[in-house]
Amino acid sequence: MTDKTKGIIKEISSYALIIIAVILIRIFIFDPVRVDGPSMNNTLLNGQILIINKFTYRKNDIKRYDIVVIKMDDKKIIKRVMGLPNEVIEIKDNVVYANGKKLDGSFTSSKAEDFKMEDIGLVKIPGDSYLVMGDNREISLDSRYAEVGTIKKEKILGKAGLRIWPLNKIGKVK
């Protein structure tokens, strides 16, 4: 093999390694996702692009108030975790309660109708599932509706970690 051929092979292999690394990172660690619709207003706006961390829930538990990306059929939806496994969630007079304890509602942008777990055919959240809601509760299709219901842990793709678009809004998602 000539030195020129060796140089070409070395250059091609370095590009191949970069491509493989990027693919593996996207599959197992980070992935971009676009906000589609107003259900998370004013926290996240339609068209914003986020980076989700797929790795965090392999090491850590899903926590209340985390903003997560969920695999629903052939699309991804973005919601906030409000109910944890084995909890009873209720909304009364626009206040969310978990097992009778009032939850933080400072990030919501609209009013919510009253809700009880029985509305979706449950007494409490199953042990492997979570109850999620959009911050714009008035228009969000979320766990309060039977067609969505509670979300099994394996349907949660990851935590919304970083907003990368628009450029003037770059930063950590809260």
Instruction: Match 């975790």 to its residue by tokens.
Output: 81
Q: Model pTM?
A: 0.83
Domain extent for 105? 31-172
Out of 54, 79, 140, 159, the active site residue is 79
Which pLDDT score is estimated for 170? 85
Question: pLDDT value at position 133?
Answer: 96
DSSP of the chain, one letter per residue? --HHHHHHHHHHHHHHHHHHHHHHHHHHTEEEEE--SSTTTTTS-TT-EEEEESSHHHHS---TT-EEEEEETTEEEEEEEEE-TT--EEEETTEEEETTEEPP-TT--S----EEGGGGT-SS--TTEEEEE-SSTTT--STTSTTT-SEEGGGEEEEEEEEEESGGG-EE--
Residue 129 annotated as catalytic: no
10 falls within a domain? no
Residue 13 maps to a domain: no
Residue 109 bears catalytic tag: no
Give the pLDDT band of residue 174 (cuts 50, 70, 90).
confident
pLDDT in tens, 148-158: 999 999 999 99
3-44 confidence digits (pLDDT tens)? 777 777 778 877 777 787 777 666 666 788 889 999 999 899
Is residue 24 assigned to a domain?
Answer: no
User: Is residue 146 a part of any domain in this protein?
Assistant: yes
pLDDT in tens, 58-69: 888 999 999 999
Total number of domains in the chain: 1
Looking at the domain assignment, is residue 21 inside a domain? no
Across 128-142, average pLDDT: 94
Q: What CATH number does the domain containing 106 carry?
A: 2.10.109.10
Q: What is the pLDDT of residue 94?
A: 93
**Contact 81/63 with Cβ under 8 angstroms?**
yes
Q: What is the pLDDT of residue 75?
A: 87
Which residue among the candidates 39, 129, 140, 143 is catalytic per the annotation?
Answer: 39
Does 16 reside within a domain? Answer: no
- Which tokens hold the place of 98? 């978990």
